[in-house]
Structure 1
């Protein structure tokens, strides 16, 4: 099993988790929590905790809040959900006294978490958040390594159920983009999902552990 990161017992973590759950759907909240568990798991597997860039608080904030833009507050903003979420997360951190340098790193990791090929080159925090998020859809950052077995995933799903994660995220991203077209600029995940929907094409979101 993947052990619960001790940081979750900290008061700031409980405050941020309450903020997350009040801001997004239960499916998105559970996905965000699992992504954080996976990111911390990868930090162990990659021996990243000794890296000079490893910051457990920044990793918690970035992973937990990476899909904040898919909530109602994000839907009201004109930017793509990744950027809207990064802005909202930064506002939350500023309101709770987090230093500007940490908030900026968190902003970058959230804004880039769907930018495959870019996030991995923008430092450890961006890499861990992008990889942890992808692992929740069954995409291993190191093909063939199987960082997460089906048994490990089942344990985490029991603690934080999937609740039709893929469908929920798809519906939120596409729904926002149709309501506010500026949220789906060329090259974005939102634009891709809207176009595949319009063409009646099946989604290629991985389904290793079901919806």
Structure 2
């Protein structure tokens, strides 16, 4: 599979989600969000996993929006804050309530250790793709050529340093959150060792 084989949904909601993410995310965080979708869609394509491309794309664009200053909640974990932002965005996009809830679920679940593909294919795919992009988990699941092509088109731009600072701040301020657990369990070292940054 090549980058050109990955289908980007061309719906009004998908285009607006990219526009919103571009407006609020740093260049590094924006490229991370785009790569999260690309890794996920490529993984699904190679393994025959059926998924809702628009739902996955919109969720990918907002999965880390809770890390940016404008949406950084002092009361809930960043993934829950991002889920709330997505719910409101999807309401504006005219999605029914059930679909808004699904976007929120996918975003919250990307922080889980594992998401059952039979119960939530989009959450499963986003959890896997962000695991690769942030901590370099299981790079062998994507071909070397595809990894090189995606990284050339959407470079990392210092994501490791920026994300480490963000997740450390979240974990410090919200020690009972999943981010807090990640920080205590050495996520900074895993991010620093990510082979995608070599």
Quote the Cα distance in structure 2 between the aligned partners of 1:77 and 1:23.
Answer: 18
In structure 1, the partner of 2:66 is 69
In structure 2, the partner of 1:139 is 137
Quote the Cα distance in structure 2 between the aligned partners of 1:153 and 1:115.
Answer: 24
Quote the Cα distance in structure 1 between the aligned partners of 2:101 and 2:12.
Answer: 22
**Which of 160, 176, 180 is equivalent to 1:166?**
160
Greater per-residue helix proportion: 2
Distance of aligned partners of 1:130 and 1:90 in 2 relative to their CA distance in 1, 3 Å threshold: same
In structure 1, the partner of 2:190 is 204
Select between 26-35 and 164-173 the one with higher mean Cα deviation.
164-173
Secondary structure of the 1:43 match is: helix
Distance of aligned partners of 1:97 and 1:34 in 2 relative to their CA distance in 1, 3 Å threshold: same
Pairs within 5 Å for 1:92-103: 92-103=89-100
Q: Aligned pair 1:82/2:79, yes or no? A: yes
Aligned length: 194
Quote the Cα distance in structure 1 between the aligned partners of 2:152 and 2:34.
Answer: 13
Quote the Cα distance in structure 1 between the aligned partners of 2:47 and 2:5.
Answer: 18
Quote the Cα distance in structure 2 between the aligned partners of 1:27 and 1:184.
Answer: 25
Q: Give the TM-score of the pair, scaled to structure 2.
A: 0.86
Q: Is the 8 A contact 2:11 2:54 kept in 1?
A: no
Runs of 4+ with >6 A deviation: none
Where structure 1 has 5 or more consecutive residues not aligned to the other structure, the ranges are none
Secondary structure of the 1:82 match is: helix
In structure 1, the partner of 2:182 is 192
Where structure 2 has 5 or more consecutive residues not aligned to the other structure, the ranges are none
Following superposition, the deviation at residue 87 of structure 1 comes to 0.9
Q: Aligned pair 1:35/2:21, yes or no? A: no
Q: Is the 8 A contact 1:80 1:184 kept in 2?
A: no
Following superposition, the deviation at residue 8 of structure 1 comes to 4.1
Following superposition, the deviation at residue 4 of structure 1 comes to 5.9
Distance of aligned partners of 1:148 and 1:95 in 2 relative to their CA distance in 1, 3 Å threshold: same
Q: Is the 8 A contact 2:164 2:188 kept in 1?
A: no
Secondary structure of the 1:184 match is: coil
Q: Aligned pair 1:120/2:120, yes or no? A: no
Quote the Cα distance in structure 1 between the aligned partners of 2:42 and 2:79.
Answer: 23
Secondary structure of the 1:128 match is: helix
Q: Aligned pair 1:91/2:88, yes or no? A: yes
Q: Is the 8 A contact 1:27 1:165 kept in 2?
A: yes
